Amino acid sequence: MAAASNNPPLLEVRNLRVEFPTRRGTLLAVDDVSFDIAPGEVLGVVGESGAGKSLTGNAIIGLLEPPGRIAGGEIRLEGRRIDNLPYEEMRKIRGARIGAIFQDPLTSLNPLYSVGRQLIETIQTHLGLSNSAARTRAIDLLKEVGIPGAEMRIDHYPHQFSGGMRQRVVIALALCAGPRLIVADEPTTALDVSIQAQIIALLKRLCREHQTAVMLVTHDMGVIAETADRVAVMYAGRVAEIGPVRDVVKHAQHPYTKGLMGSIPSLGVRHERLTQIDGAMPRLTEIPKGCAFNPRCTVHGARCLIERPELMTAGSSRAACWRHDAGGVGQPVSKEMVDA
């Protein structure tokens, strides 16, 4: 699962497990997830609500909500392990080496302070610049993310900006200390389509120019197709498929990914009906034995009900599906066998 680049990976996630202890037992929300991201690469992480994609991002930036905890695996940033660091040390890394962009800009911006004050305080915290140097850098950042009249608008408050402009300010905030990794969790969901395109173009440009690694978490496959170099498709806490975005979109190798791709309308192509994946993703308390997707899969066999597949080579991608194993899926399963 090496990144699609000759550069060594900037972020390495290995066998990550995230658990939530409850009165009824421990829920496994992220189960054995592994991937890399290289400098200058955008990895899209896509899946339905509850697939574990946001929890994976939160685990990387050290912002899991209690009682959630990392129960296994390793997270390495530029070769340094960061998943076991004390809170204060991780807090320094989160500002300086990892930037975060969230869905709603208002959760990242303090409404009582001007955007300039928030940018300047962040810059001074991590870079130790003087007031004037920090203000100059803050203005430069606002210009870089496309805020017109940055010299004047730096003293405005969050409510004086539109939603798209607020998200640009949040991106500037994430870039303050020159991070090596940006975790962007649904950064365009709350925005109009035209503004989404601008934010996507901005993220791609910043990634390319700064050689920053970007983990883009979203449920929108269109955003992934437009932005990412590679895509990881998550289902029920695991990676179902990972590979180059063009190959995954055009030649999906996992039945779940095929269903996702078939549900996206194509411009210029008339569809009588879009593909529908019957059923719903299982709750964490009800994940079935074998492949978690088997109750919704139209091509599963007997093996899929018993053994859980790991990621295996499938063309240019890797997919967790027994159809790509020499042993195959086994005998087809009838509805009567499933109901028995």
**Within this chain, do residues 10 and 35 fall inside the same structural domain, yes or no?**
yes
**Within this chain, do residues 48 and 145 fall inside the same structural domain, yes or no?**
no
Specify the pLDDT at position 2: 44
**Distance between CA atoms of 29 and 107, rounded to whole angstroms?**
24
**Within this chain, do residues 61 and 93 fall inside the same structural domain, yes or no?**
yes
Helix (H, G, I), strand (E, B) or coil at 44: strand
**What beta strand segments (E) does the chain contain?**
11-22, 25-37, 42-46, 69-77, 80-81, 98-101, 181-185, 213-218, 230-235, 238-244, 312-314, 317-319
The answer to the question of residue 61 being in a domain is: yes
Specify the pLDDT at position 269: 60
| pLDDT average, residue stretch 292-303 | 94
**Within this chain, do residues 65 and 209 fall inside the same structural domain, yes or no?**
yes
Do the Cβ atoms of 11 and 217 come closer than 8 Å?
Answer: no
Q: How confident is the model at residue 26 (pLDDT cuts 50, 70, 90)?
A: very high
Q: Backbone phi, then psi, for 192, in 5-degree steps?
A: -65, 155
Do the Cβ atoms of 60 and 22 come closer than 8 Å?
Answer: no
Least confident segment among 162-171, 222-231, 325-334: 325-334
Domain endpoint, select from 176, 197, 214: 176
Helix (H, G, I), strand (E, B) or coil at 240: strand
- Average pLDDT taken over every residue of the chain: 90
The answer to the question of residue 78 being in a domain is: yes
**Within this chain, do residues 188 and 253 fall inside the same structural domain, yes or no?**
yes
Least confident segment among 84-93, 126-135, 197-206, 310-319: 197-206
If one counts the domains in the chain, the total is 2
CB burial class (10 A; 0-12, 13-18, 19+) of residue 139? buried
Asked if pLDDT for residue 3 goes beyond 60, the answer is no
Asked if pLDDT for residue 78 goes beyond 80, the answer is yes
The answer to the question of residue 17 being in a domain is: yes
Asked if pLDDT for residue 55 goes beyond 60, the answer is yes
**Within this chain, do residues 206 and 76 fall inside the same structural domain, yes or no?**
yes
Specify the pLDDT at position 206: 87
Q: How confident is the model at residue 335 (pLDDT cuts 50, 70, 90)?
A: very low
**Within this chain, do residues 67 and 44 fall inside the same structural domain, yes or no?**
yes
Q: Rounded to two decimals, what is the model's pTM?
A: 0.91
Q: How confident is the model at residue 97 (pLDDT cuts 50, 70, 90)?
A: very high
Specify the pLDDT at position 340: 42
Provide the domain limits for residue 131.
105-176
Q: Backbone phi, then psi, for 327, in 5-degree steps?
A: -80, -10
Domain endpoint, select from 246, 268, 290: 268
Instruction: Locate 102 and state its tokens.
Output: 């969230």
Give the orientation angle of helix 87-96 with respect to helix 115-127, to 10 degrees: 110
Asked if pLDDT for residue 338 goes beyond 80, the answer is no
The answer to the question of residue 247 being in a domain is: yes
Specify the pLDDT at position 106: 83
Q: Tell me the CATH number at 21.
A: 3.40.50.300
Q: What is the pLDDT of residues 32-47, one digit of tens each?
A: 999 999 999 999 999 9
Specify the pLDDT at position 76: 98
User: Nearest 5 degrees, angle CA 266-CA 269-CA 274?
Assistant: 60
The answer to the question of residue 289 being in a domain is: no
Specify the pLDDT at position 266: 61
| pLDDT average, residue stretch 202-209 | 89
Q: Which of 241, 327, 332 is nearest to 294 (CA)?
A: 332
Q: What is the pLDDT of residues 237-265, one digit of tens each?
A: 999 999 999 999 999 999 999 988 876 66
The answer to the question of residue 166 being in a domain is: yes
* Sequence-distant (≥ 6) Cβ neighbours of residue 27 within 8 angstroms: 19, 20, 21, 284, 285
Q: How confident is the model at residue 152 (pLDDT cuts 50, 70, 90)?
A: very high
**Residues belonging to the chain:** 340
In angstroms and rounded to an integer, the radius of gyration of the C-alpha atoms of the chain is 21
* In the chain, % of residues over pLDDT 70: 91
* In the chain, % of residues over pLDDT 90: 74
Do the Cβ atoms of 327 and 303 come closer than 8 Å?
Answer: yes
The answer to the question of residue 123 being in a domain is: yes
| pLDDT average, residue stretch 64-91 | 95
Q: What is the pLDDT of residues 268-281, one digit of tens each?
A: 566 566 677 889 99
Specify the pLDDT at position 8: 85
Please state, in angstroms and as integers, the Cα–Cα distance from residue 83 to each residue in 90, 101, 103, following that order. Answer: 8, 20, 24
* Sequence-distant (≥ 6) Cβ neighbours of residue 133 within 8 angstroms: none
Q: How confident is the model at residue 267 (pLDDT cuts 50, 70, 90)?
A: low
Specify the pLDDT at position 80: 96
Q: What is the pLDDT of residues 176-194, one digit of tens each?
A: 999 999 999 999 888 888 8
**Within this chain, do residues 90 and 9 fall inside the same structural domain, yes or no?**
yes
The answer to the question of residue 252 being in a domain is: yes
